[in-house]
Structure 1
């Protein structure tokens, strides 16, 4: 046999498994950016869906809202609500072979606590007091005071998940970076090419059930229309995530077309957060309650649902969906009623001048800045629609579209009349979102700062976290959310959903329990 023929046969043997992998055991997905360095304790540019693939929590948030065992098999909570004792799962190893044990848990928690300023938004990190590892399979977490959402916050994708101790930097502070992304999860990152793709493979040493799919290639596709083309031409197999905007997967109209095609399996998740606006109570015309209430009555949300979301998202009448714990309060919605909006403005002294289109008071026009991310097509569409709706009752809306950093600065410093401020979805709701309302770096705080009862709201928020009495906790949440609803500092628009589209040769078991969890491990090829 000649040398060239032997080489050709060897190449065939090597290529056959790769071809089989691409044909049968590889799933091709896309995202708008690379997955980042995948530091489990940090935020952007780390992408949450990818952090969730590699890193696991002590406890997990289930689809039904329960907190279930994960890296911790069981736990107990002291009668005063301050001490949590976790029994860790035995035999778990990080992907680099390092054992997962209580010392590793303490090391990771201490790394998060060392960067407290960055994590201060998460109340559990503020509450951490004593962290102990009395045995390899026992982790003890002592808090400064009782904090009922502790388990929910341990279930979050970041920052309280676990990196192999061998992957820590020399400084021991993961804020300085990590040596490599090594977790206990079902996937490994094996290759990343900037602006092109990230490649993950199955962790065959995973402690739990192994994924059926062997490899996931995530192409970087920044544009929803390009993503749609990639799906239709067979370059990607799956579309999963939010829809309808610049950072989403595809537009709502594109989803509807794919859903009607019999070769596709298409579905929409339940509510995964609220698409909402903050109305500033501390500056400009929206400092007046009557103006905020008039705005809430003047917006036709049903027209928004039908015209912009094509029925994929449903109208939201409250800041949190009724399905969220403590949030089914039967609050009366601000029904669409232009006549009522006009009367509220008239009674508050905002009058339409003869022949004019914009109301005035004390010689000043009723003009409100509406801030949004300029390259987010969905936000721009909503802002333009609202501009037209509010003009019908004599409110002039000035559209302010800016790049993401400038938009974020406005959320932090309160330089807005209206601003987009979506809720975070489970398991952050309601506690983490409500807790952030006390932080000046959030649009929620800035929107509420002009309320005469702001100090009382903040005091009740602090109290609700410490109570161990469920009835008292419910009463506090009822007071907080009812007050915010009546004060109209939020304009909830729709309940956000995820969409999923794939060919019928791929099977799935439904959506992940939270907005950013993509259940790749529950997917398989027929």
Structure 2
């Protein structure tokens, strides 16, 4: 429906997806140079980004780890734990040469064995996106020596280099996780990484405290300490920012954006939630196992009833763009040519629903009339599952579909860890 378009920028403190910075502080505790307090919307269940795609975990934990590569704002690979690489056999074999002298936060040396273990024993088993994307094409990942890792693929796979950053493939320490269950290892709550920050402590789900990794191969962060304070309510986050109780927000309520932009001591940084820029679409997917969606006319009617621009204006408050194709425009290698999504056309949607036998009287919801296998008078109700964080999307979708006589019933799901 809507597509975020802002790019990810890295501040000197190495915090990725940050939107607002408070330039003055009113607090006395920790109010000295070198300390930054950032607001988190929720306490992460753990700090192991290799076993989950949960955004809250990654927002907090990715600062502690590295991937083989990083991505710039055009999704071009940049060195991280790997300094350079070779692509051989027409793209079916990749050789990565690892950075020398890197140590884990506990002082143990980082080697190719950590990379092989992270992929074979953890990422390809527990990280759902990495498992789904790389699992079918990876024949083997091996380490011929301590400083080299070789990926053998069953076929050329162009997106590989975009899937080796800390979000999609964080590297974990083999000496801590080998022989354990990575889902219950105590290091998940007291992590050891190679990243720009070291874990210090967690305070009962209220805040996380990190210290700068002064030995970081990319250079020490610009601050000495980072405090991630849990403030679930977005409005309370804004109040804390304006009061000087926090310095950094990962996002602001859209309705507050214009006012905060006019506040002299608050600075906005253009960003996206994903490394390499935004490459995500917010979509509505139809369960084709349900009879009501088996006819393409029903799917087309519901699509025509969606006003994508309204989602940009009312949910994203202008911070995005209406998708024009089923693939995000940021994915340059996969940008479709000549593929367009249907326009917003509620009259056409209504005509299609009428042709399917779903009729309405006045502003009432549609009911079946001579629909095969459906008793006459049955209301046209559609179930919709969403996460709580997408409530604004669900509310607007319900209103748009209600305008053509479709009753959307929303079920809110619990967030996975």
TM-score w.r.t. length of structure 2: 0.80
1:43-442 equivalences under 5 Å are 43=52, 47-112=57-122, 115=125, 121-158=131-168, 160-168=169-177, 171-179=179-187, 180-241=190-251, 250-269=252-271, 271-325=278-332, 326-352=334-360, 357-362=365-370, 363-365=376-378, 367-373=380-386, 375-376=388-389, 379-393=390-404, 395-404=405-414
Q: Using the TM superposition, give the Cα deviation of residue 47 of structure 1 relative to its aligned residue in structure 2, in angstroms.
A: 0.8
Q: Using the TM superposition, give the Cα deviation of residue 172 of structure 1 relative to its aligned residue in structure 2, in angstroms.
A: 4.6
Consecutive unaligned residues of structure 1, counting only runs of 5 or more, are 1-18, 242-249, 409-526
Residue 25 in 1 paired to residue 38 in 2?
no
CA shift digits 1:337-368 (9 cap, x unpaired): 22222222233333335896524332254513
User: Take 1:390 and 1:76, find their aligned partners in 2: how far apart are those partners?
Assistant: 51
Q: Using the TM superposition, give the Cα deviation of residue 31 of structure 1 relative to its aligned residue in structure 2, in angstroms.
A: 0.8
Q: Using the TM superposition, give the Cα deviation of residue 216 of structure 1 relative to its aligned residue in structure 2, in angstroms.
A: 0.7
The 3 A distance-change label for structure 1 pair 107 and 100 is: same
CA shift digits 1:173-213 (9 cap, x unpaired): 53441544111111001011122110011001111221111
Instruction: Give 3-state SS (helix, strand or coil) of 1:384's partner.
Output: helix
User: Take 1:334 and 1:307, find their aligned partners in 2: how far apart are those partners?
Assistant: 20
Q: Using the TM superposition, give the Cα deviation of residue 133 of structure 1 relative to its aligned residue in structure 2, in angstroms.
A: 2.5
**Greater relative contact order structure (CA < 8 Å, 6+ sep):** 2
TM-score w.r.t. length of structure 1: 0.64
Number of equivalences: 375
User: Take 1:259 and 1:42, find their aligned partners in 2: how far apart are those partners?
Assistant: 37
CA shift digits 1:65-89 (9 cap, x unpaired): 1122221111112215332221111
Q: Please list every run of at least 4 consecutive aligned residues from structure 1 whose deviation after the TM superposition is greater than 6 angstroms.
A: 116-120
The 3 A distance-change label for structure 1 pair 403 and 181 is: same
Alignment check: 8 A CA contact 2:71 2:162 kept: yes
User: Take 1:313 and 1:104, find their aligned partners in 2: how far apart are those partners?
Assistant: 38
Q: Using the TM superposition, give the Cα deviation of residue 56 of structure 1 relative to its aligned residue in structure 2, in angstroms.
A: 0.8
Instruction: Give 3-state SS (helix, strand or coil) of 1:149's partner.
Output: helix
Alignment check: 8 A CA contact 1:36 1:47 kept: yes
RMSD over aligned CA atoms reads 2.9
Q: Using the TM superposition, give the Cα deviation of residue 48 of structure 1 relative to its aligned residue in structure 2, in angstroms.
A: 0.4
User: Take 2:246 and 2:82, find their aligned partners in 1: how far apart are those partners?
Assistant: 36
The 3 A distance-change label for structure 1 pair 151 and 382 is: closer
User: Take 1:210 and 1:147, find their aligned partners in 2: how far apart are those partners?
Assistant: 35
The 3 A distance-change label for structure 1 pair 144 and 213 is: same
Structure with bigger gyration radius: 1
Instruction: Give 3-state SS (helix, strand or coil) of 2:171's partner.
Output: coil
